[in-house]
Structure 1
Amino acid sequence: MKKNNDFPSNGNLRYFIHLDTVRCYAVFMVVFAHIFKIWTWKDATESLFPLGQTGVVLFFVLSGFLITYILLKEPQHKPIAQSFKQFYIRRSLRIFPIYYLFLAICYIANISNVNDYGFALWFYLGNYYIFNHNSWIGEYSHLWTLAVEEQFYLLWPFLVLFLRTRTNALLILFVSVIALASLARFYLLSNGFSYTQAKVFPLANVDFFALGALIALGNIYCQQTVRSSGYPLVVTGLILYYGSYYVFGKMIFYMIGQLSIGLVAAGVIIIALFSQAKEGILHNRMTVHIGKISYGIYLYHNAIVAHYAEIAGYFGIDAGNSYYMKIVISVLFTLIIAELSFWCIEKPCLRIKELFRSP
C-alpha cells in the first residue's frame, strides 16, 4: 500500500455505468429464483444453481464497493461529522421513501397479515425477526437483505472515515471482517442454529461487503492488480463452490459455498468495473435502465408474485395454468410498478439527494 500522504483527497466520483447492468442481472436472478421456487421447483436444484443467493451477494458486494469508494473519496479537509451527516441523509433519501410507502400500504391493508410482524419491518429488523422465529415471513422474507444493508450502514461509515488515511489499517480491517463472517457461520451452525438463521444473521454477511470494500481500496491504490483479478476470482469461486459441493458435507459446503459465491460476485463486479464494452446484447441502455430501477423491482416483486391471481384477475387477465405466461405477466407488472415508482418517487428524491453531494 502507498503511504498515507499519497491518499487521494478529491471529491470527484466516477459513474460506473456497467455496474447498473450488474444490478439488472442481480435483481432478475433474485426475481426468477423466487418465481421458480413458488411455481416450479422447490429446493432440489437450489444448491447447484443458487440464483437468488448469488443475486443477493452481488448486491451486497456492490454496496460494499460503492459505499466504501464514496467514503474514501471524501475530501480530507472535510470534517468527519459533516461527512457522516451527508452520507446518512443521502442514503435515507435513496432508501427510505419507497420502502416506507410500500410498508404503509401493506400495513394499512394488512396484506398477508403483515401486522403480525409488529414493528420489525419498520425498523429494518426483519432479519432478526426471522432469526428469532427461525422462520421466513412469507412475501416479506426478502426484506431481510435490506435490513442487513441498513445495519451495515450504521457502523461501516464510522470505521472507514475514521481510518480513511490509514490504508494498512483499512486493509487489515477488511480482511478481518471477511474472517469474522466465516467464524460467525461456523459458530451458528456448530451450535444448533439453522441454515436460515445463519443466512440472515448480520455478521454472517459482512464478508460480502468487505469484499466490495477491498475492491474499492484496490481501485484507488493498485488499480492494475485489481483489474487483472476479475476472471481469476470468478474461476476460483466456481471451482471452490462446485468442488466443495461434491466433496464435503452440508455444513462445510455451506461455509465454503458462501465465500465462493462472494468471490464470484467480486470477480463479476471487477470485470464490469473495468469493462470497456460498448452497447451490445449483454450491456445496453435497457440493462442500464433496469439497473437504475432495480431497487423498486426488488422491493415489489415478491408481493406481485404472491398476489398474481388477484392482480391478473383485476385486469381481466387469464393465463390459465401456463407457468410461462404467469412468469411473463408477473415480470411485466413488476417492471411497470418499479418504473412508475422510479419516476414518481425515487427520481424526485434523487434530485434532493444531489444537494448533499460533496463539492
Structure 2
Amino acid sequence: MPTLPHTKPSTVIAYRPQLDGLRFGAVLTVLFYHFLPTHQMIGRVLDIGVLLVFFFVLSSYLITKILLVGKERGLAAGYSKLKIGAVFLSRRTLRIFPAYYFYIFILLFIPSATYVRENSATFFLYLSNYQIFFDQEWGELTAHLWTLAVEEQFYLFWPWLILLTPNRHLPKMLFLIIACGIISRAVIFGMLDSPATQEVTLLVLTPTCLDGFGFGALLAYQHYYGNSISYLWKKVFFIALPIWIITLFLGNPAISIVVDRVFVSLFAMFILEGANIGYKNMFGRMLEHPVVLYLGKISYGIYLYHIFAVVAFWKVFAKLTAGRHTFIGINVSSIADFLKQPLVSFLIYLGLSIILASASWYLLEKPINKLKRFFVYNSAKKEALKVQEPEPARPALLQPQPDSHLAQPKENVKL
C-alpha cells in the first residue's frame, strides 16, 4: 500500500497557464456538442457528452491541490480543520454562486422557462441533476446545469474527506471513491427499466460521477508530493485504450455506461499531466495564447450562458424582423437560412456567449471575487511559516518517476 513520504511537501502552488487553456478547450467541446450536428458523425460511436467527465477530473484535481496545500498552511498557522474547511467553502461560494444565481434569477422571468419556475427549489439548492433525472426532462434553458449541480454537491463533501483523512490514507480512500463511482453506474443501470433509452441518462446522478473526481484527486495527490504519473500507469492506459475502442464499436450500452468514463478519466489525467509539465509544441503554444488564456478565465460564464445566448439571439432576431418581408434590403427568410447554417450559427453563439461571459466577469464575478482576500488559509503574520521545502520522497501510490519541476514551482498564486 502507498506510504506517506517523511519529508514535507511544498506549500505553494505554481501557476500553470496551460490548465486555463484546457479549461476553455473543455468548454469549447461542450459548445461543439450543443451547437454542431456531432451526433451525425462521432455521436454514432461515442456520446460526446461523456467528455464532460474532463470537467470533473480537472475540478477535482485543482480543488484537491488547493485543499492539500490549504490543509498544510492552515494547520501550520494553528487553524482547526473546521476553519480550513469553512475558508475553502467561503472562497468557493464567492466564485461560483454569484453568476449561477444571477442566471437562475433571470430564468425566473423568461416566459418559456416554466421548468425553472415549477422546480425553483431544486435549482436554487443545486439539486437539479436529480430533478431532471426523475422527471426525464432537460428543460429548455437548463440542460447544462446538471454538471454545476454535481460539482456543487462535490464541493460540499470533498473538503471534509480531504481534511479529515490523514494524508497517508488518502490514496486508499480515493481508490474506494473510484470504485464507488464505477459500481454505482452498474447497480443503477441494472435497477432501471430500459436505462439505455432514457431521455436523461443515469450519468447525471452524482454517485455515478465519483470516479472522475477520484482520478483527478489521485493526480493532485501525486503532484502535491512532486511526483508524476508512473510508467506503469501509462503502460496500463495504452494497453486498455484499444480495449475501450473495441467496446465503443460493440455498442453495448451496459458496457459503455460503466466503463466509458473510466477511460475518459484516465485520458484526462494524462492531458493534465502534460499541461503541468508544459506542452512545448504547437498545442502548448495554443494553450498559452493570450486570447485562449482569457477565454479560460471566463470559461465558467461561457458555459453558464451559452444556451441562453441561443434563445436570446433568435428572440432579438424575431423582434427585429417581425412583420417584415425584408430586413436591410434582404429577404428575411434568406437571412434566417444563412444564420442557421451550422458554422455561421456556431460562430454567432460562441461570440454572444463570450460577450455575456465577459460582462458577467467584469460586472459581477470579478468584483465579488475580490472578497476572497478576507478568507485565507493563514494570516499574513504567519506567512513566514512557509519555507522552501526539499524535494520530498516518493509515495508508492503510482510508482512515480522524478519530476523536480513539480516540486519547485516558479510562481505562486493565491489559493
- With structure 1 as the length reference, what TM-score do the two structures score? 0.89
Match of 1:214 in 2: 218
Q: Is it true that 1:203 corresponds to 2:220 in the alignment?
A: no
Instruction: Measure, in 1, the Cα distance between the counterparts of 2:158 and 2:247.
Output: 31
Alignment of 1:156-305 (within 5 A): 156-163=158-165, 165-167=166-168, 169-192=169-192, 194-195=195-196, 196-221=200-225, 223-225=227-229, 235=238, 238-247=241-250, 249-275=252-278, 277=280, 280-305=285-310
Q: Is it true that 1:13 corresponds to 2:32 in the alignment?
A: no
- Secondary structure of the corresponding residue to residue 24 of structure 2: helix
Aligned to 2:142, which of 140, 146, 159? 140
Instruction: Measure, in 1, the Cα distance between the counterparts of 2:4 and 2:248.
Output: 42
Q: Which amino acid aligns with 2:43?
A: E
Q: Is it true that 1:348 corresponds to 2:348 in the alignment?
A: no
Instruction: Measure, in 1, the Cα distance between the counterparts of 2:121 and 2:113.
Output: 15
Larger Rg: 2
Q: Which amino acid aligns with 2:191?
A: N
Match of 1:129 in 2: 131
Instruction: Measure, in 1, the Cα distance between the counterparts of 2:148 and 2:239.
Output: 28
Match of 1:69 in 2: 65
Instruction: Measure, in 1, the Cα distance between the counterparts of 2:276 and 2:134.
Output: 38
CA positional deviation for 1:9: 6.7
Quick one: structure 1 residues 35 and 238, their matched pair in 2 at CA, closer, same or farther if it must change by over 3 Å?
farther
Aligned to 2:43, which of 19, 42, 46? 46
CA positional deviation for 1:263: 1.2
CA positional deviation for 1:233: 7.4
Alignment of 1:308-323 (within 5 A): 308-313=313-318, 318-321=335-338, 322-323=341-342
CA positional deviation for 1:221: 2.5
CA positional deviation for 1:225: 3.7
- Secondary structure of the corresponding residue to residue 143 of structure 2: helix
- Secondary structure of the corresponding residue to residue 211 of structure 1: helix
RMSD over aligned Cα atoms = 2.5
- Secondary structure of the corresponding residue to residue 365 of structure 2: helix
Match of 1:81 in 2: 82
Match of 2:405 in 1: none
Instruction: Measure, in 1, the Cα distance between the counterparts of 2:172 and 2:219.
Output: 14
Aligned positions, number: 351
CA positional deviation for 1:327: 1.4
CA positional deviation for 1:146: 0.4
Q: Which amino acid aligns with 1:202?
A: T
Instruction: Measure, in 2, the Cα distance between the counterparts of 1:323 and 1:116.
Output: 33
CA positional deviation for 1:222: 5.3
Q: Is it true that 1:59 corresponds to 2:55 in the alignment?
A: yes
Alignment of 1:98-113 (within 5 A): 98-113=99-114
Q: Which amino acid aligns with 2:314?
A: A
Q: Which amino acid aligns with 1:320?
A: D
Name which structure has the greater RCO, CA cutoff 8 Å, separation 6+.
Answer: 2
Query: Identical aligned pairs, as a percentage?
Result: 28
CA positional deviation for 1:57: 1.3
Q: Is it true that 1:328 corresponds to 2:328 in the alignment?
A: no
Instruction: Measure, in 2, the Cα distance between the counterparts of 1:352 and 1:174.
Output: 32
Instruction: Measure, in 1, the Cα distance between the counterparts of 2:159 and 2:141.
Output: 31
CA positional deviation for 1:84: 1.1
